[in-house]
């Protein structure tokens, strides 16, 4: 019922849903560009419509009572970004414990402009031996969903160039806040 309702709502708002064929059982889902709190609404509608069952990662301050109960119920996983805690290894281990797992995160790590992308999603995907789903909320084209499922080569330079090519022309609500698709030094 929620899937049908989400599909109708996206359509009523004038949005098109994207998903390529060949959905894997497991993937690290990256969401780019992430420039607005509105991204959450469209992402949740897209996730529900596609029936992805995506779990997603966000800063732990978003999970305080009482909203934290709702956030966890919608698939949220709180992360303490103030200290190092073996996050990559922990998340990679989750893939071995589940037959189906889609784990979403924003490679920029924030809605603000950054000089590039963090490598956590890449390291998780390689360690778990799963593809990366390139997801977007494109306000210019009014499209939400998954652009492709990408098998990483292990060559970080080549892979980030492929990712940049695929995201070429995709626009967030606030384009000036979309970080360049390159690795942070």
CATH code for the domain in which residue 14 is found: 3.40.50
Start-end of H helices in the chain: 2-12, 38-50, 67-73, 87-97, 120-128, 156-167
In a domain, 19, yes or no: yes
Residue pair 106/76 in contact (Cβ under 8 Å)? The answer is: no
Model confidence over 96-136: pLDDT tens digits? 988 999 998 889 877 788 999 999 999 999 999 999 999 99
Distance of CA 22 to the CA centre of its chain: 18
The CA distance from 77 to 87, in Å, is 11
Q: Tokens 């949005």 — which residue? A: 15
Model confidence over 79-102: pLDDT tens digits? 776 777 788 898 898 899 889 999
In a domain, 184, yes or no: no
The two tokens of residue 154 are 């292990």
Give the chain's count of helices (H) and strands (E): 6, 7
The number of folded domains in the chain is 1
In a domain, 185, yes or no: no
In a domain, 180, yes or no: no
Q: 117 is in which domain, residue-wise?
A: 2-173
pLDDT > 90 in the chain, percent: 65
In a domain, 178, yes or no: no
Which of left, alpha, beta for 28 (phi over 0: left; psi -120 to 50: alpha)?
beta
In a domain, 179, yes or no: no
Amino acid 131: pLDDT: 98
Q: What is the pTM of this model?
A: 0.88
Model confidence over 4-26: pLDDT tens digits? 999 999 999 999 999 999 999 99
């Amino acid at each position: 019922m929620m899937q049908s309702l989400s599909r109708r709502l996206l359509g009523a708002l004038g949005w098109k849903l994207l998903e390529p064929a060949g959905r894997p059982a497991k993937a690290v889902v990256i969401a780019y560009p992430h420039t607005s709190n509105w991204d959450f609404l469209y992402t949740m509608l897209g996730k529900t419509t596609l029936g992805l069952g995506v779990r997603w990662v966000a800063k732990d301050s978003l999970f305080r009572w009482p909203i934290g109960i709702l956030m966890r119920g919608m698939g949220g996983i709180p992360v303490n970004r103030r200290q190092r805690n073996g996050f990559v290894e922990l998340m990679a281990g989750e893939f071995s414990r589940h037959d189906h797992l889609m784990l979403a995160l924003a490679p920029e790590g924030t809605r603000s402009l950054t000089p590039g992308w963090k490598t956590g999603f890449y390291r998780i995907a390689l360690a778990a031996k799963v593809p990366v789903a390139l997801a977007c909320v494109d306000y210019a084209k009014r499209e939400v969903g998954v652009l492709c499922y990408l098998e990483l080569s292990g060559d970080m330079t080549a892979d980030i160039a492929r990712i940049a090519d695929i995201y070429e022309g995709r626009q967030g609500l606030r384009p000036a806040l979309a970080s360049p698709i390159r690795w942070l030094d």
